[in-house]
Amino acid sequence: DAGVTQSPTHLIKTRGQQVTLRCSPISGHKSVSWYQQVLGQGPQFIFQYYEKEERGRGNFPDRFSARQFPNYSSELNVNALLLGDSALYLCASSLARQNYGYTFGSGTRLTVV
Amino acid sequence: GQSLEQPSEVTAVEGAIVQINCTYQTSGFYGLSWYQQHDGGAPTFLSYNALDGLEETGRFSSFLSRSDSYGYLLLQELQMKDSASYFCAVREGSGNTPLVFGKGTRLSVIA
């Protein structure tokens, strides 16, 4: 079975631009979470979706938005990019009501210049 | 607020045993997880403790004391490939609540 797939793997954008990152969870996993990981830090929670509904939102500005599709894949959108948005964006999928084992994708490395 | 404290760096010798500690302060607690992340890679799940005590998975063990809000990851028979960052993470609620991660401990295994 394929794991969690994210695209693109690397991306360079200019300040003020918009970006869309994509994630396909493991087959059968209905919950998708997005995390931002700045170099040298732990992953910071951005959004969680389950059954196409937002179930949680971290402390990120409204420039960040996300959605989940009927096939449980997900997109993360970031508008008006800032230099500080440069990070590794990780997508994690999990089974419903599973309390521990996230499976992470390899992430999208976003560089804002 | 929520906080998870881990040492930022640990160095240990190949073949030795190393313990990585984690103390947490969160609004709720539904278990402590540990993840490993190699440079440039994705975090991978290592272990989970919901109840007090020791959980063993091969060379890795994890311990939890809920009364002390404390846990640790124990790595035995260290190998060079164990050089990575290790994160503790807490789930503050049941069901589909997100994991909150610590800042990570960078483990360097030396010969």
Tell me the pLDDT tens digit for each residue of B11-52: 999 999 999 999 999 888 889 999 999 998 999 999 999 999
Residue-wise pLDDT tens digits, A48-78? 998 889 988 999 999 999 999 999 999 999 9
What pLDDT score was predicted for residue B24?
Answer: 95
Please state the rounded mean pLDDT for residues A72-96.
95
| Residues of B whose CB is below 8 A from A42 | 4, 87, 89, 101-104
What pLDDT score was predicted for residue A90?
Answer: 98
Check A43 against B30: CB less than 8 A apart: no
Residue A110 predicted with pLDDT over 90: yes
Half-sphere exposure of A113 (CA within 13 A, CB side): 4
Check B98 against A99: CB less than 8 A apart: no
Query: In this complex, is the C-beta atom of A107 within 8 Å of any C-beta atom belonging to chain B?
Result: yes
Q: How far is CA B5 from CA A48, A63, A75, B21, B110, in A?
A: 24, 29, 31, 8, 24
What percent of chain B lies above the pLDDT cut of 90?
80
What pLDDT score was predicted for residue A51?
Answer: 87
B45: nearest CB among A33, A48, A102: A102
The 8-class DSSP code of residue B27 comes to S
Q: Is A85 helix (H, G, I), strand (E, B) or coil?
A: helix
- pLDDT, averaged across chain B: 93
Check B41 against A50: CB less than 8 A apart: no
Please state the rounded mean pLDDT for residues A39-56.
91
CA dist A89 and A85 (Å) reads 10
Band (pLDDT 50/70/90 cuts) for residue A5 is very high
CA dist B87 and A18 (Å) reads 30
Query: In this complex, is the C-beta atom of A97 within 8 Å of any C-beta atom belonging to chain B?
Result: yes
CA dist B54 and B71 (Å) reads 10
CA dist B60 and B106 (Å) reads 16
Check A41 against B98: CB less than 8 A apart: no
Pairing mode, strands A19-24 and A44-50? unpaired
| Residues of B whose CB is below 8 A from A101 | 33, 45, 48
Residue A99 predicted with pLDDT over 70: no
